[in-house]
Structure 1
Amino acid sequence: MNVTGLRVALFSGNYNYVRDGANQALNRFVGYLLRQGAAVRIYSATTSHPAFEPTGDLVSAPSFSVPGRREYRVPYRLSRDVRRDLKAFGPNLIHVSSPDPLGHRAISWARERNIPAVASVHTRFETYPRYYGLAFLEPLIESLLRRFYRRCDAIVAPSESMAQLLREQRMSYDVGIWTRGIDREIFHPGRRDMAWRRSVGIADDRPVIGFVGRLVMEKGLDVFSDTIDQLATRQVPHKVLIVGEGPAREWFENRLPDAVFTGFQSGPDLGRAVASMDMLFNPSITETFGNVTLEAMACGLPTVAARATGSENLVTDRVTGRLIRPGAIGAFAEALSSYCRNPEERMQAGAAAMARAERYGWDQVNQALVDTYLRVIRQRAQGARLRSSPVP
């Protein structure tokens, strides 16, 4: 079989109703599959006013809103209509991108019909409770995730560091890589716009520390804010530029009253905002890859990031940026201070980061996942049995 023989049913918790890095990657991948001649059908929670138009045919699955985070929805079952649609479509591979109830039902549906299933891992859900004072739940969530992923023929992670963590957590016997690419028409140093910087109140000689992402606490907003406080105490010249939107925006604005908040940006506007920074500060430990880090690198920026999954495979410490122990406020402040005070060091790291970003092209990245699809279909056809874990 080649790619034209693929009939992929993709299950997502959020395919297009709230924009994030995960569903941007999924939509790009579906577009790639369709261009290669594969058949694809997407099943996801939906809303009446999605953030963007979906790529491919999207079927709405029953869902409910998340208490306290009503912008998100949980798809919870394969309804009669969804089952009828699935049967008519006749997939030969199931792809689940979120460990939600719908994903569980999809895997069960596939196993009952001897159809292989692949899961993609997009975030570290087990780390989320610590940002809401519920760290004691992490072992339980990790156990639930293990049960979910072990039922799949293979899982794919966006970075080798994340893949290795999944192996250590005994999530699956078969862990591959589906990394992320970069749109070089949008993210490049030529997007830098000093006039735009001035229009939002940033002086030409002021080093800009940027944050890009959804404004939610699990992105490390508390660590970011505390670090910026230390820079102010040390009298380090800087300006903070925040690009993104989310439920924690009011909290973040109160913590950083002197920062510039642009709100949500996309396309060329996002490229302009990122390229107009001087460095990216990414203290989050929840990412499995760090799309924003790669985008900043492609714009020629150094990144100061937490030493965590995702960032470890993008940032080379003291070459393309700095990797700091998660939560180490003083060390984060020292690294940012060095880049703020030393333009030459900042430019050298940015040039090295841009060279590193050249490795990531979307077509090569997406073909790697297609190859995984074809391999698991071939293995299942040859009678391979599902192996749940490398550790009994």
Structure 2
Amino acid sequence: MRVAIITESFLPDVNGVAHSVVRVAEHLVSKGHEPLVIAPNPAMMTRRALPVTDYPVVRVASFPMLGYKDFRLGLPVPKIAEALDGHQPDVVHLASPFFLGGRGSVLAAQRGLPTVAVYQTDVAAYARLYKLGWGEATAWKWIRTIHNAADRTLAPSTAAAEALIAHGVSRVWLWRRGVDVERFRPDHRSEAVRRSLAPNGELIVGYVGRLAVEKRVDLLARTSRLPGVKVVIVGDGPARKDLEKAVPDALFLGALHGDELARTYASMDIFAHTGPYETFGQTVQEAMASGLPVVAPAVGGPVDLVKPDTTGVLVPPEDAGALADAVADLVADDERRIEFGRAARAAVARRSWAAVGDELIGHYAAVVAGPGVPASVQMAA
């Protein structure tokens, strides 16, 4: 099968959309399919870091998003149509479509190509937070237009699916994300890493993710002042300087990758997720695969991932006190904390990228075969 993936973000960007596209493309190649990725050009300073891939990547002109210059928006240039016509895809995959994906949707329709649109970013919330000049209602109108033009929309969580349906999107299916259960695993725990992060023997409470306003990492300030706790923040982004002031007791490691990231995850004791706008929560899955109990807000993607009193604790969103109290309870109860971590690993052990990749290929095959599936939310396992 020939697949054109039109994505709003791709390597060297570090975010959930880019990571998901990479894993999908890799899986397609491993199964003998032929993916093409169409993505925005990164900023000039990072173009030297463009990766070498086993599949073609077409880069199109881009510009920085107003209010969030680290994220670039692809322009609807003729190069997109040329790439589609050259690849002759059987299906078009729109990854978190909005700007570039919106143009891709139109071009696919003009060519009679079946499309699968993957909803992954709460653009409407970002429009409100970053005051982008077009409001939340306008953002939802555009999301509805793009997704209702697709043959099938894939949502990463029940909360995301319900939000799409509530805003008038039809033909919504549930497609969760995979996790690398071989890379992220408890046996990567390192006493040397633990000593370097918490030399006084504190329990390590970790956060991994982009440092941006919407992630609400500032909520960890109260947690960082708990006795016997060391908050470790992994990641980078536009809010880092402000966060270093807001959470001065935390240790900021910057962005980590590969085996170093896996060792750092496994060397933590508790994972604290703070963002209230997650459509899924990939770092929550990675932490669970690493054998960590998770404290996360009871909203969005984490509601599907964290089973209260089994794999972690769900707290009211944007409540720093509730977050700190939940962490303190786990810090005080070694047996409960360790048992939650074991259960967390078991809960994600079968969510490999290969398994969800095969599921995605099934969605491709269904839209290529034509209509016939009821327009409702399909709660896939």
Q: Do these two structures clear the TM 0.5 threshold for a shared fold by scoring above it?
A: yes
Q: Give the alignment partner of residue 186 of structure 2, picking from 175, 185, 189.
A: 189
Give the equivalent residue in structure 2 for 1:262: 253
Q: Which residues of 2 match residues 15-164 of structure 1 at below 5 A?
A: 15-47=10-42, 48-50=47-49, 52-54=51-53, 56-79=55-78, 81-132=79-130, 137-164=135-162
Instruction: Assess if the C-alpha contact under 8 Å between 1:118 and 1:152 holds in 2.
Output: yes
Give the equivalent residue in structure 2 for 1:358: 349
Deviation at 1:251, TM superposition (A): 0.8
Instruction: Assess if the C-alpha contact under 8 Å between 1:187 and 1:275 holds in 2.
Output: yes
Report percent identity of matched pairs: 32
Q: Give the alignment partner of residue 279 of structure 2, picking from 275, 279, 288.
A: 288
Instruction: Assess if the C-alpha contact under 8 Å between 2:281 and 2:301 holds in 1.
Output: yes
Q: Which residues of 2 match residues 338-349 of structure 1 at below 5 A?
A: 338-349=329-340
Matched, 1:252 2:252: no
Aligned residues: 373
Secondary structure of residue in 2 paired with 1:49: helix
Report which stretch shifted further, 97-106 or 117-126. Answer: 97-106
Q: Distance in 1 between matches of 2:36 and 2:56?
A: 5
Instruction: Assess if the C-alpha contact under 8 Å between 1:301 and 1:354 holds in 2.
Output: yes
Give the letter for the 1:308 counterpart.
V
Unaligned runs of 5+ residues in structure 2 are none
Deviation at 1:137, TM superposition (A): 2.7
Deviation at 1:352, TM superposition (A): 1.2
Give the equivalent residue in structure 1 for 2:267: 276
Give the equivalent residue in structure 2 for 1:3: none
Residues 237 and 356 of structure 1: CA distance in aligned 2, closer, same or farther (over 3 Å): same
Deviation at 1:214, TM superposition (A): 0.8
Unaligned runs of 5+ residues in structure 1 are 1-5
Q: Distance in 2 between matches of 1:136 and 1:103?
A: 18
Deviation at 1:136, TM superposition (A): 9.6
Secondary structure of residue in 2 paired with 1:150: helix
TM-score (norm 1): 0.89
Secondary structure of residue in 2 paired with 1:211: strand
Deviation at 1:130, TM superposition (A): 4.6
Give the equivalent residue in structure 1 for 2:320: 329
Deviation at 1:162, TM superposition (A): 2.2
Deviation at 1:12, TM superposition (A): 0.9
TM-score (norm 2): 0.91
Q: Distance in 2 between matches of 1:84 and 1:327?
A: 45
Instruction: Assess if the C-alpha contact under 8 Å between 1:18 and 1:51 holds in 2.
Output: no
Instruction: Assess if the C-alpha contact under 8 Å between 1:153 and 1:386 holds in 2.
Output: no
Q: Which residues of 2 match residues 286-325 of structure 1 at below 5 A?
A: 286-325=277-316
Q: Distance in 1 between matches of 2:68 and 2:128?
A: 16
Matched, 1:218 2:214: yes
Q: Give the alignment partner of residue 200 of structure 1, picking from 177, 197, 201.
A: 197
Deviation at 1:103, TM superposition (A): 1.2
Residues 55 and 310 of structure 1: CA distance in aligned 2, closer, same or farther (over 3 Å): farther
Q: Distance in 2 between matches of 1:17 and 1:188?
A: 25
Matched, 1:175 2:166: no
Instruction: Assess if the C-alpha contact under 8 Å between 1:178 and 1:369 holds in 2.
Output: yes
Q: CA RMSD in A?
A: 2.3
Q: Distance in 2 between matches of 1:275 and 1:388?
A: 39
Q: Distance in 2 between matches of 1:51 and 1:186?
A: 23
Deviation at 1:83, TM superposition (A): 2.2
Give the letter for the 1:66 counterpart.
M
